[in-house]
């Protein structure tokens, strides 16, 4: 009898070990191979700057209240309060110790598009790599080159303050298994080139869905609710629906959306407010054809 029980115990342990191995294989950090980032050539810093503004880097990584040239000091340190705890935005200036000055383009690219840190660790999705995953490697190279051209800061951001079990980075692998994808958010395969460019900007570097799409209790986007608005993921208020059927911008023309992104004024002469203020200021640095592409995309997606 004892031998039978021992066999059952051993079988259970073996199954647990196998199960743990399978779970780890499915959820371990999964960076692109080094070869993926090879031979990218010299970065185009002018394009890198456009991506810097499109990606809203200053909105999180510059000091709160920064203006003018201070918007290009990527010292980090801002607090992002969420239901999972408080995230502290890191320094991404060229400082080799406090920032990303010692990183390779592969380390930067894998952080941006795979959510994998320089030491092979999972990054928390408060950093919107779920959107940046759609960026091309050429754009990653250009953005990285531009960031390295900016002033260095020695500021070291505090560690994240997260509640259990969210303070366990291994759990992020499970989140990625459920929600991480680089596939298009909506099917616009037969769209115009302008709409496709807008899709790239909105779904990729612009990461508009990170605020404008409602989330479930685990922080994943709610299926079928792309850009449909919802509670502010960082606290008070609501983020508006920006699909064609919305009461916010649904009735606006493409030209009116472009004018709003350029000037901060709505068609009825109200002005931009809340967290959108910083986003709109970033958008003013984009070429007008990119703003027109964003507007075309927002008019082409399904209404919610």
Angle subtended at Cα 107 by Cα 215 and Cα 50, rounded to the nearest 5 degrees: 70
Mean pLDDT of 248-252: 93
Among candidates 101, 135, 95, which has minimal Cα distance to 115? 135
Banded model confidence at residue 274, pLDDT cuts 50, 70, 90? confident
Confidence check: pLDDT of 50 > 60:
yes
Q: What is the pLDDT of residue 1?
A: 57
Residues 205, 53: Cα–Cα separation, whole Å: 9
Q: What is the pLDDT of residue 2?
A: 54
Same domain, 133 and 225: no
Q: What is the pLDDT of residue 273?
A: 86
Confidence check: pLDDT of 80 > 70:
yes
Domain boundary among 148, 179, 210: 179
Same domain, 51 and 168: yes
- Rounded to whole angstroms, what are the CA distances from 85 to 91, 164, 204, 209? 19, 9, 25, 21
Q: What is the pLDDT of residue 17?
A: 45
Task: Report yes or no on 285 lying in a domain.
Answer: yes
When divided into structural domains, the chain yields a total of 2
Contact between 87 and 160 (Cβ < 8 Å): yes
Per the rule left: phi > 0, alpha: psi between -120 and 50, beta: everything else, 90 is beta
Same domain, 47 and 152: yes
Among candidates 140, 221, 119, which has minimal Cα distance to 180? 221
Interval 111-122: pLDDT, tens: 999 999 999 999
Residues 3, 261: Cα–Cα separation, whole Å: 74
Task: Report yes or no on 266 lying in a domain.
Answer: yes
Task: Report yes or no on 29 lying in a domain.
Answer: no
Confidence check: pLDDT of 204 > 50:
yes
Same domain, 151 and 200: no
The better pLDDT of the pair 256, 7 is held by 256
Q: What is the pLDDT of residue 237?
A: 78
The pTM score is 0.90
Same domain, 69 and 167: yes
Same domain, 246 and 156: no
Q: What is the pLDDT of residue 16?
A: 43
Could you give the 3-state DSSP secondary structure of residue 84?
A: coil
Among candidates 40, 205, 52, which has minimal Cα distance to 143? 52
Task: Report yes or no on 5 lying in a domain.
Answer: no
Task: Report yes or no on 240 lying in a domain.
Answer: yes
Show the beta-strand stretches assigned E in the chain.
79-82, 85-88, 161-162, 230-231, 238-239
Confidence check: pLDDT of 23 > 60:
no
Least confident span in 124-128, 176-180, 268-272, 296-300: 268-272
Contacts of 261 (CB under 8 A, 6+ apart): 280, 283, 284, 286, 291, 294, 295
Q: What is the pLDDT of residue 205?
A: 98
Same domain, 100 and 237: no
Same domain, 272 and 153: no
Task: Report yes or no on 13 lying in a domain.
Answer: no
**CATH code, domain carrying 198:** 1.10.760
Domain boundary among 127, 155, 179: 179
Confidence check: pLDDT of 5 > 80:
no
Residues 124, 157: Cα–Cα separation, whole Å: 15
Mean pLDDT of 239-254: 93
Domain boundary among 154, 179, 204: 179
Interval 281-293: pLDDT, tens: 999 999 999 999 9
Q: What is the pLDDT of residue 166?
A: 84
Could you tell me the residue range of the domain that residue 165 belongs to? Answer: 34-179
- Rounded to whole angstroms, what are the CA distances from 56 to 39, 152, 194? 27, 18, 21
Same domain, 125 and 243: no
For the residues of 129-146, what is the DSSP string, one character each?
A: HHHHTTS-HHHHHHHHHH
Among candidates 137, 117, 119, 136, which has minimal Cα distance to 127? 117
Among candidates 135, 185, 153, which has minimal Cα distance to 58? 153
Percent of the chain with pLDDT over 70: 90
Same domain, 209 and 143: no
Q: What is the pLDDT of residue 22?
A: 46
Task: Report yes or no on 184 lying in a domain.
Answer: no
Same domain, 71 and 138: yes
Task: Report yes or no on 24 lying in a domain.
Answer: no
Q: Is 147 exposed, middle or buried (0-12, 13-18, 19+ CB in 10 A)?
A: buried
Q: What is the pLDDT of residue 235?
A: 64
Same domain, 38 and 172: yes
Structure tokens at 297: 């995309």
Confidence check: pLDDT of 230 > 50:
yes
Banded model confidence at residue 19, pLDDT cuts 50, 70, 90? very low
């Amino acid at each position: 009898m004892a031998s039978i029980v021992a066999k059952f115990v051993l079988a259970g342990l073996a199954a647990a070990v196998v199960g743990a191995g399978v779970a780890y294989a499915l959820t371990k950090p999964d960076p692109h191979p080094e070869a993926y980032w090879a031979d990218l050539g010299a970065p185009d810093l002018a394009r890198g700057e456009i991506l810097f503004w499109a990606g809203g880097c200053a909105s999180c990584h510059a000091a709160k209240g920064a203006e003018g040239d201070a918007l290009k000091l990527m010292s980090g340190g801002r607090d992002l309060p969420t239901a999972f705890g408080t995230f502290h935005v890191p320094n991404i200036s060229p400082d080799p110790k406090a920032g990303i000055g010692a990183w390779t383009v592969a380390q930067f690219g894998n952080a941006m598009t795979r959510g994998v840190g320089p030491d092979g660790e999972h990054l928390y999705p408060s950093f919107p790599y779920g959107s940046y995953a759609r960026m091309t490697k050429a754009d990653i190279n250009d953005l990285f080159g531009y960031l390295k051209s900016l002033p260095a800061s020695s500021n070291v951001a505090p560690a994240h303050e997260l509640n259990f079990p969210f303070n366990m980075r291994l759990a992020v692998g499970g989140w990625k298994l459920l929600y991480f994808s680089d596939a298009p958010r909506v099917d616009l395969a037969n769209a115009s080139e302008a709409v496709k460019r807008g899709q790239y900007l909105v779904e990729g570097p612009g990461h508009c869905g990170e605020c404008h799409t409602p989330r479930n209790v685990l922080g994943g986007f709610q299926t079928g609710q792309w850009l449909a608005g919802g509670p502010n993921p960082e606290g008070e208020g609501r983020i508006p629906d920006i699909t064609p059927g919305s009461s916010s911008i649904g009735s606006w023309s493409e030209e009116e959306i472009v004018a709003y992104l350029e000037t901060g004024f709505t068609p009825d002469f109200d002005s931009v407010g809340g967290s959108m203020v910083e986003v709109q200021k970033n958008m003013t640095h984009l070429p007008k054809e990119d703003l027109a592409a964003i507007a075309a995309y927002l008019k082409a997606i399904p209404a919610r």
